[in-house]
């Protein structure tokens, strides 16, 4: 049976603006023909009222390490899509999601754009079945205090523990492209950010700096992030 509904989760904790999670959720709902069930794993549940169901920090962690909470045995059952907050959604990608769910074992991801610290796995986009990687969560729960400043962060630590990963970009190389490493060109110490992107790109990953709120001069960021925020503020 074709996938017609999708659990979607963002992770927004600490000082990260909740507007990022709300914009990403709203844009996915605008673009997708699937029935989106939105959740947000957060330490500020009151800020999700009206647009997402809040999920708690099963283990209180700092920053990106909170993503490991998605593998908690206390997560609601089902198949989930997770996206980093600084991803900008440009086009519908329902067909890719359906394909991934049909072909993956328990987890799919997009490769790290630079194979950071020799690790192929990136946690910026994950499609996963709940309760299949609780051993990763258990290890995190036991080690969370000492992992805070671990080099490479969550994905370098998680990657070797995940077992078989379906790498989405091996079949859909243009699904998600990194702004700094795929789209921009580095000229000395500066980035040359183009005003257009290839027509088959469906997500722009603005990991690191600059963030989407700093990129209103780029039409594909303005239309798919700034204009979405403006419409939400007027509603």
The pLDDT of 217-225, averaged and rounded, is 98
CB 165 within 8 A of CB 133: no
pLDDT of 145 above 90: no
How do residues 154-208 score in pLDDT, each as one tens digit? 999 999 999 999 999 999 999 999 999 999 998 888 899 999 999 999 999 999 9
Per residue in 14-55, pLDDT (tens digit) is 999 999 999 999 999 999 999 999 999 999 999 999 999 999
Predicted pLDDT at 235 = 86
Instruction: Using the predicted structure, report yes or no on whether residue 1 has a pLDDT greater than 60.
Output: no
Q: How far is CA 30 from the centre of its chain?
A: 17
118: Cβ–Cβ under 8 A, 6 or more apart, which residues? none
Q: Is residue 50 a contact partner of residue 235, using CB atoms and an 8 Å limit?
A: no
Domains of the chain are 5-173 (3.90.550.10)
Residue 77 backbone phi and psi in degrees, to 5 = -65, 160
- CA–CA distance, 107 with 219 (Å, rounded to integer): 33
- Return phi, psi of residue 5, to 5°: -135, 160
Would you say 52 and 25 are in contact if contact means Cβ atoms under 8 Å apart? Answer: yes
**Whether the predicted pLDDT of 3 surpasses 80:** no
Tell me phi and psi for residue 104, to 5 degrees: -80, 160
Q: What is the DSSP letter of 226?
A: I
Tokens 């359906």 belong to 98
Cβ-contact 81, 6 below 8 angstroms: yes
**d(Cα 163, Cα 106) in Å, to the nearest integer?**
9
**pLDDT bracket for residue 62 (50, 70, 90):** confident
Residue with tokens 């059952």: 77
Residue 190 confidence (pLDDT): 87
Pick the closest to residue 129 from 109, 105, 111, 110 (CA basis). Answer: 105
Per-residue confidence (pLDDT) for residue 2, from 0 to 100: 65
Rounded-to-integer distance, Cα 123 and Cα 21, Å = 16
pLDDT reading at 75 higher than 70: yes
Element containing residue 141 per DSSP (H, E): helix 134-147
Tokens (6 digits) for 180: 């700094």
């Amino acid at each position: 049976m074709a996938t017609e509904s999708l659990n979607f989760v963002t992770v927004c904790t600490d000082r990260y603006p909740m507007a990022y999670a709300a914009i990403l959720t709203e844009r996915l709902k605008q673009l997708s023909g699937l029935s989106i069930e939105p959740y947000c794993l957060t330490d500020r549940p009151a800020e999700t009222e009206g647009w997402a169901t809040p999920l708690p920090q099963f283990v209180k962690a700092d920053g990106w390490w909170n993503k490991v909470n998605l593998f908690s045995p206390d997560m609601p059952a089902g198949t989930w899509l997770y996206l980093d907050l600084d991803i900008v959604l440009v086009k519908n990608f329902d067909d890719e999601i359906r394909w991934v769910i049909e072909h993956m074992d328990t987890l799919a991801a997009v490769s790290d754009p630079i194979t950071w610290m020799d690790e192929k796995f990136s946690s910026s986009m994950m499609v996963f079945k709940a309760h299949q990687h609780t051993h990763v969560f258990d290890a995190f729960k036991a080690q969370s205090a000492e992992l805070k400043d671990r080099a490479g962060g969550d994905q370098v630590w998680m990657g070797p523990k995940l077992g078989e990963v379906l790498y989405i970009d091996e079949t859909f190389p243009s699904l998600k492209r990194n702004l700094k490493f795929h789209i921009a060109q580095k000229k000395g110490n500066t980035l040359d950010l183009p005003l257009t992107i290839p027509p088959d790109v469906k997500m722009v990953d603005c990991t690191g700096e600059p963030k989407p709120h700093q990129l209103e001069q780029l039409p594909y960021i303005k239309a798919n992030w700034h204009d979405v925020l403006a419409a939400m503020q007027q509603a």
